[in-house]
Chains A and B, each alone.
Chain A
Amino acid sequence: DTAVSQTPKYLVTQMGNDKSIKCEQNLGHDTMYWYKQDSKKFLKIMFSYNNKELIINETVPNRFSPKSPDKAHLNLHINSLELGDSAVYFCASSQASGLATNEKLFFGSGTQLSVL
């Protein structure tokens, strides 16, 4: 059983399109995240949700909109895709109600987004 699963694994699309990435965790965790990893491998947090409530919202263009229908799911919708959005997007989850001291993050396998 995959703990944190995200779909699709690969996403190739044209500039200007709107696309969504889905994430589900079966660990019973309260907190879920979206991270972006660029071509230089920098892993940066984008959003964090705790029990469907947004708790971290980094400086991300408002073309990116996360949606959490329940605490086991966190989807990422991207409008008007741009070339610079090409990256690997990782979903993650953690047990407690925030990013506490030694909290372990569980990551999905990533979605490789290529915008042409």
Chain B
Amino acid sequence: QKEVEQDPGPLSVPEGAIVSLNCTYSNSAFQYFMWYRQYSRKGPELLMYTYSSGNKEDGRFTAQVDKSSKYISLFIRDSQPSDSATYLCAPHPGGYNKLIFGAGTRLAVHP
């Protein structure tokens, strides 16, 4: 089993839709959970960061972590065409360890 799994998509939604992007992981040592966004032909950039279980909101974006089921979600409200990108989840065990990325989910928001 891969350490981090994401549905690669593509996920195509109309503008204004609520988007749910999900990620599962296998290592119960993961404590910190990041979402990176990658536009086409660009490097990833950190979008959100969450510690342990719970929710974190930042504007139209909400990150949710359920450690009991090892499930991570990113919700995008009122999605915009500019949200069209690949979203990579990246859990981290804490301390000095390398970051492991999921394969990413490609999102297309059409006007």
Q: Which residues of A contact B (CB under 8 A)?
A: 4, 40-45, 48, 56, 58, 90, 92, 98-110
Contact = CB atoms under 8 A, between A and B. Distances in A.
B99 A105 contact: yes
Contact of A101 (B32, B44, B46, B101): B32
B87 to A, nearest CB: 11
Contacts of B106: 41
Given A45-B99, A101-B95, A109 B32 contact: no
B98 A40 contact: no
Contacts, number: 61
Contact of B43 (A41, A45, A90, A99): A90
Nearest to B106: A41
A103 to B, nearest CB: 8
A contact face: mostly helix, strand, loop, or mixed: loop
Interface of B is mostly: loop
Contacts of A41: 8, 86, 88, 103-104, 106
Contacts of A42: 101, 103
A42, A48, A90, A98: most-surrounded residue (chain B CB, <10 A): A42
Contacts of A45: 98-99
A9 B103 CA distance: 22
Contacts of A108: 43
B106 to A, nearest CB: 8
Interface in B36-94: 36, 41-46, 49, 51, 86, 88, 92, 94
A109 B42 CA distance: 4
Nearest to B45: A107
Contacts of A106: 45
21 contacts: A41-B8, A41-B86, A41-B103, A41-B104, A42-B101, A44-B101, A45-B98, A45-B99, A58-B98, A90-B44, A99-B96, A99-B97, A101-B32, A101-B95, A102-B32, A103-B99, A105-B44, A107-B43, A109-B42, A109-B43, A110-B41
Contacts of A4: 43
